[in-house]
Structure 1
C-alpha cells in the first residue's frame, strides 16, 4: 500500500482495519495495472470505511491524475492535507501536479515550503522536497534561488553515505546507527530499519532505489542550472559502486558533453546504450510498423500547415529501438526519442558565384521505440509521448514560433532556445532537454534534452 500503513491510524476493530487496508492495497494494485475505474471503486470503498483518513484521498488523487484530471487530483490531495496536516505525501504530490500538469510552479513552490515546515522529515524527504522546489523555481525563470538551495543541502552527505554503504553492506556493522548527527549512522538506520522493525531484503532494495533516483535527480538539476563539474564528480563516484546503472552513465555522458569533454561523453553514451539494450522492451510497446503508421498520421493531421505538408515530401520515417552506435559516437543522445534528419544541397560548381551554404533540408525522421517507452507506463501514454516528441522535433526544426507551438500543446522555446529548453517543461524524471548545434542549422548532435510534457 502506498502512503502510510493503515494500521498506524486509530483502529475501530481488526476487521474494519483489515478491510480498509485491503481496499487501499487493491486500489493501488489496480492503478498500477491501468484499471482506473476499478481502482477508483476500491478507493471510494476505503473512503467510505474511514472518511477521516487521508490515505484514501491520496489514492483518489492518484486515480484522478491517471485519468487525466489534474484539477480533480489536486483537490483530493488538498483534502488529504486537510485531514492530516502532518502527512507528507499529499504535499509532495500536490506540488508535482502544480508543476508538471497545471503549469503553476508558484503554487507548487508553496506546497514545498509548507511541507518543509513539517516536524518529522527524513533527510531523504527533505532532499525530495528541495528538488521539487528547485524545479519550481527554475520553471519560474529563477536561477539564484535554486543554485543557493542546492549549495546548502546538508542531506547530500547522508545520500552519498547511503549509496556507498548499500554497495558495501559489510561496512554496516562498523557504525552505530543511534547517532543522529552522524551521516553514516543515519544511512545505516535507513538501510536497516523502519521504526522498530527490521527491513526485509525487498524493502531494503526499494530504499536503495529511492536513494539512487534522488542522486540522479540532483545531478540532473545541477546540469539544468549550468553546473557540469559537480555532477561529474558525484556520478563518477556512484558508478564505482553501481557500474551497471544506465541512468548514471547517461547523466555522466551529458555532464561530459556540456563540459566539452567529447571523447569521455561518447564512451559514457555508448555504455548507456549498451546497458539500456539489456532491458526488455515492454510488451505493450507497438510494433515498428504500427509506430510508423502513427507517426505519419500525427504529421498528416497536424493543424500547422508547414508540418502537415511534410508528408508530401515524402517524409521518410525510420523506426528503431535506439540510435545506432555510430550516431552516438557522433554525439547523438543515446536516449533521444525522435530525431529530425537533414542534409544540405550540393554546392555551386567551380567558377560560380560564391554564396552562403544552403540551409539543411529535412530528409527523414528517426523514431526510437525503446526511448519513447521510457516516458510511458502503458500504450496510451506511449501514444501521447510519440505525438509530443514528433511534433516537438519537427516544430523545432522548421522554427515554429511560440504561439504556434502553444497551439500544438508544446512548451515555448523563447528567444534563446538553448537557454529555455531545460526550463520549458518537466516530468521526470524526467525527465527532457536540448543541447547541440544551433537549432535548424544542422543535425543536432545530442537530440532533445528537455523532459517530456506529453499532454493528457
Structure 2
C-alpha cells in the first residue's frame, strides 16, 4: 500500500469511529501528498462535516467535483448538506439532477431521488415531491438507510402503509437506528397504539443517549453561553417572562415525560403555571411576577436539529419562541375559561412604563 492510500484508509477509519480530529490530521497529510486528488477533497469535506463546519465541507466537495465532474459520491455528499442544515435547496436539487443524469445505478438513483424529494418538500412543492417519490423503484430495498429514508418520505406524504412496510424493514436491517424507531413510534401513535409508540420512543431515546453528542458539539460552558445569547435575542416580552424562570439543561427528555406523551425529539419543554388572580369574573393580564416557569432545554435534540455549530443559537431561539408562545397562549385560554373573561397574554411594557424604569 502506498503512502497516500495509507493516509486515506486511516482517515476514513478514524472518521467512521467519530474521531474527527484524528481523521482531519490524516486527511491533511493526504492532501499534502496529492493536492489534486478528488478523493482527498471528498475526504476533507466529510471530515469537515463531521466537525460541524458544513460550509467548509461543501467547498471541499465542490473542489472534488471540479477535479472530477463525474464524482457522484461528492455530489451526493454536498447535496445532503445543502438540504440540511444549510437550506440551499435549489443548489441541492441541481446537484441531485446532475447525479440522475450521470448514473442508472439503483442505489445512487435512490440516494439522489430522496435528497431531491427533501429539497422539494423544503420548497413547499409537495406535488413535485410526490412525483419524485413515485418514481423510485418499489421497496423494501437492500439498504436499511434507504428503507428508513423512503419510509420517512412516505410518512410525510401521508402514505402510512408504505411507510410502515419500509420502516419495519429499516429496523430489521439495522437495530440501532434511532431515526427508524422514532418513525415507528409515530406510526404507532397515528393508529392509536400508544403502548407500542411509547416502547419505540423509549428505544429512540436510549439509542440517542448511547450514541452521544456529535463530534462538533460544544462543551457545556459554551452551550450555556449560546443559550444566554439566544435568550438575549428573544422578543422583549419573552425575555421579561424568562427573567424569573428556572432554566435546566439535559441531554434528552426523561423517560417519565416520554411515557406521559412528550415527543422524545422535543428541544424545549416549558412547565408553567399562573399564581392568581383567583377572583371569579376578574379581568387580568399574565404579568411575569404571576408566572411560575420552568424551562428545560434538551441539548442532544438541539444538536440533532441544528446540524452544525453555527446553527445552535438560532435553533435554541426558535425553539424557545415557539414553545413559550404556545405555552403562554394555552395558559391564557385556560384562565379565560376559568374566569369567564378574556385574558391578555404577556406584552411589552408601555412607553410610559419603560420611561419610568
TM over 0.5: yes
Superposition RMSD in Å: 4.0
Structure 1: runs of 5 or more not aligned: 1-16, 163-210, 400-437, 444-456
1:270 deviates by 3.3
How many correspondences in the alignment?
A: 323
1:356 deviates by 10
Aligned partner (choices 315, 320, 323) of residue 397 of structure 1: 323
Greater relative CO, 1 or 2 (CA 8 Å, sep 6+)? 2
* Contact residue 23 and residue 45 of structure 1 kept, 8 A: no
Q: How does 1:15-414 map to 2 (within 5 A)?
A: 18-29=2-13, 32-35=18-21, 38-39=25-26, 41-48=28-35, 51=36, 53-65=37-49, 70-119=54-103, 121=105, 123-157=106-140, 159=141, 162=142, 211-236=143-168, 246-257=178-189, 259=190, 261-262=191-192, 264-274=193-203, 276-277=205-206, 280=210, 282=212, 293-294=224-225, 297-298=228-229, 301-302=232-233, 304-313=235-244, 315-344=245-274, 348-349=278-279, 352-353=280-281, 363-369=293-299, 371-372=301-302, 387-399=313-325
1:101 deviates by 4.7
* 392 and 235 in structure 1: CA distance in 2 versus 1, 3 angstrom threshold: same
Divergent runs of 4+, >6 A: 240-244, 283-287, 354-360
* 303 and 40 in structure 1: CA distance in 2 versus 1, 3 angstrom threshold: farther
Which structure features the higher share of helix residues?
2
1:249 deviates by 2.7
Alignment deviations for residues 200-226 of structure 1 (CA, whole Å, 9 cap, x no partner): xxxxxxxxxxx2222222222233334
> In 2, Cα distance between the equivalents of 1:299 and 1:309?
14
1:111 deviates by 0.9
1:54 deviates by 1.7
> In 2, Cα distance between the equivalents of 1:78 and 1:333?
37
1:335 deviates by 2.9
1:148 deviates by 1.5
Q: TM-score, normalised by structure 1?
A: 0.58
1:143 deviates by 0.4
Structure 2: runs of 5 or more not aligned: 332-357
> In 2, Cα distance between the equivalents of 1:236 and 1:227?
14
> In 1, Cα distance between the equivalents of 2:52 and 2:210?
28
